[in-house]
Amino acid sequence: MRVAEGQRADLSPRKLVDAMVSEGVLTAPDSPRGRLLNAAARLFEQKGFTRTTVRDIAAEVGILSGSIFHHFASKEDILRNVMLEVVQYAQARMIHAVARAPTPRDKLRACIRCELEAIHGLAVPGFSILVIEWRSLSAQSQKQVLKLRDAYEATWCEVIDAARPGVDPALTRRLLVGALIHTHSWFKPRGKGLSLEELAEQVLQTFAPE
């Protein structure tokens, strides 16, 4: 039985994952396949797709490399599945946060915070792979991921349109995503100084001043 988006707004992060697993959208994290996907996501982020071998992924979870092919056809198939699940979880998490925010401006703040948390590895493991390893996908795999990514971007544009009537939501989103992704090179979420919440507020003030 699928959980409606409105019902998901009342779920905790763990219950959100559990609901998506029960729907067949996500792989159970503690299943053999889920452990492989999580290990691959970590290694692809740390070493890059090209330098990560199937043997590396197998060693990370303590199995023989040949056992991976009971779950995936190839290393590229692993990357595709990582990206598909990352996009779907990132969107569900963002919709969950937006549904709980009371005003259009609060909803935009929620989107900004969710994406910052994902970019900095605080909530959606493997999110940076969507940008870094896009060219490592085959053309067919890119089409599959792009279809889901378009839905994620559509959620952003709806929120921007409600918070900033009269602006071009697609253009604003392009400017926003550039600004947010670039924080990966200079912002330290666990360091001293600006907190992630304060950074999210600064971004909101820049793109949607009161």
CB neighbour list of residue 61: distance below 8 Å, 6 or more residues apart: 32, 35, 36, 39
207 vs 15, which has greater pLDDT?
207
Q: Which of 97, 101, 125 is nearest to 35 (CA)?
A: 125
CA–CA dist 83, 138 (Å, integer): 13
Inter-CA distances, 49 with 43, 57, 80, Å: 8, 11, 11
Q: Tell me the domains of the chain and their CATH numbers.
A: 2-207 (1.10.357.10)
DSSP for 62-131, written as a single string: TS-GGGGGGT-SSHHHHHHHHHHHHHHHHHHHHHHHHHH-SSHHHHHHHHHHHHHHHHTTSSSTTTTHHH
Q: Which of 74, 109, 83 is nearest to 94 (CA)?
A: 109
The token pair that represents 45 in the structure block:
């982020």
pLDDT recorded at residue 10? 52
For residues 101 and 93, what is the distance between their CA atoms, to the nearest angstrom?
13
Mean pLDDT on 82-105: 95
pTM attached to this predicted model: 0.87
Q: Is residue 11 pLDDT above 70, yes or no? A: no
